[in-house]
């Protein structure tokens, strides 16, 4: 009798053991997401980061059958929103829409970063690129990048340039230009792109490196002169405008926006999010919607995004160090 009971109990124990054996347990990706997903946008509503979050969020919600909410947490050049995600539970349900300045520039600029961009985030994919153009007020007597360099060298310190804030990608684009072209221009930081463009139009400042989606109407109306684009090739919106790199060797400074999760998020969850997001970025209506906002969709592998992050981290670190840019 005892023998039969032992066999019965052993069979039950074996069944329970198999049911809980890790190798047979369900993958976290099988049930992901089992609740709402929040996309933290570390900048104000209406910008490129916000547009990407809301566009992609709608597609993910439809695919996953869960709410996907874009939440704006602006401040400190993106550091406030970044900190919220760095501290979040690594379950894939709190993600960060992260521009390149947050991940690759801020660590070199800010003395007291609240998180480690290289170790506190898990890369997922590059969502898109925002082309940047070099424009000047029509009163500046130049019509090309070469002429701007010549004028700046002949008039050291006379030209000033606006940016949407110290440490912004626009600021860094100008500093890279100054370093590679060996010219001197005074930085005038603003609280956002809109007031910077207003003063550029009014002639209070001379030069601006800015996102094409904010500048295109002024360029087409003749209110601003465009001299070049900051990426490695011309863009469809301005097909006749050459890359700055054609004149300044090694120059390349587009804005990219990526998606990251808290470090420790399971690899299989990262892979599932990557697959869903990349598929969404390839949809015709998504491409058209983003193009209307001046955003070129991408959709990379995790490894490709990791490589881009590391390369830009090193590249911008040198630019920032050489320019002596440091903020509290």
pLDDT tens-digit profile of 154-184? 998 899 999 988 888 889 999 999 999 999 9
Under the banding of pLDDT at 50, 70 and 90, the label for residue 115 is: very high
Q: pTM for the whole thing? A: 0.83
| Beta-bridge partners for 124 | none
- What is the per-residue DSSP string for 160-185? EEEESSTTSHHHHHHHHHHHHHT---
Domains 29-130+255-323 and 132-246 equal at CATH topology level: yes
Distance, CA of 222 to CA of 297 (rounded, Å)? 28
The predicted pLDDT at position 213 comes to 83
Query: Percentages helix, strand, coil for the chain, rounded to the nearest 5?
Result: 45, 20, 35
Going from N- to C-terminal start, the domains of the chain cover 29-130+255-323, 132-246
- pLDDT of the residue at 80: 93
What digits encode the pLDDT tens for the residues 180-221? 999 999 999 988 888 999 999 999 999 999 998 889 999 999
**Fold topology of 132-246:** D-Maltodextrin-Binding Protein; domain 2 (3.40.190)
Architecture (CATH level 2) of domain 29-130+255-323: 3-Layer(aba) Sandwich (3.40)
Radius of gyration of the chain measured on its C-alpha atoms: 24
pLDDT at 24: 55
The pLDDT tens digits of the residues spanning 59-91 come to 999 999 999 999 999 888 889 999 999 999 999
Average pLDDT, rounded, for the chain: 90
The answer on pLDDT for 12 being more than 70 is: no
Q: Please compute the mean of the pLDDT values over residues 266-284 and round it to a whole number.
A: 98
Average pLDDT over residues 115-133: 96
């Amino acid at each position: 009798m005892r023998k039969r009971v032992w066999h019965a109990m052993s069979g039950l124990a074996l069944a329970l053991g198999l049911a809980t054996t890790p190798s047979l347990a369900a993958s976290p990706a099988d049930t992901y997401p089992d609740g709402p997903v929040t996309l933290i946008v570390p900048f104000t509503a209406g910008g490129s980061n916000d547009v990407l979050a809301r566009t992609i969020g709608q597609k993910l919600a439809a695919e996953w059958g869960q709410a996907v909410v874009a939440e704006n947490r602006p401040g400190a050049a993106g550091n406030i929103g970044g900190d919220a995600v760095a501290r979040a539970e690594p379950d894939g349900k709190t993600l960060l829409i992260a521009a390149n300045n947050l991940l690759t520039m801020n660590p070199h600029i800010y003395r007291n970063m609240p998180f480690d961009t290289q170790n506190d985030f898990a890369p997922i994919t590059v969502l898109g690129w925002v082309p940047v153009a070099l424009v000047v007020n029509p009163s500046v007597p130049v019509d090309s990048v070469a002429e701007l360099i010549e004028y700046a060298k002949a008039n050291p310190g006379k030209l000033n340039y606006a940016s949407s804030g110290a440490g912004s990608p626009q600021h860094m684009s100008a500093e890279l230009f100054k370093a590679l072209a060996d010219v001197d221009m005074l930085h005038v930081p603003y609280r956002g792109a809109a007031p910077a463009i207003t003063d550029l139009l009014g002639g209070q400042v001379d030069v601006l490196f800015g996102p094409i989606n904010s500048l295109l109407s002024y360029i087409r109306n003749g209110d601003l002169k465009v001299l070049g684009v900051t990426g490695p090739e011309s863009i469809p919106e301005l097909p006749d405008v050459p890359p700055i790199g054609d004149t300044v060797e090694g120059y390349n400074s587009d804005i990219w926006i990526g998606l990251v999760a808290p470090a420790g998020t399971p690899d299989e969850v990262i892979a599932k999010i990557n697959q869903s997001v990349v598929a969404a970025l390839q949809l015709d209506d998504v491409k058209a919607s983003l193009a209307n906002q001046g955003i070129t969709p991408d959709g990379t592998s995790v490894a490709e995004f990791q490589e881009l992050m590391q390369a830009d981290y090193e590249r911008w670190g040198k630019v920032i160090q050489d320019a002596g840019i440091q903020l509290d």
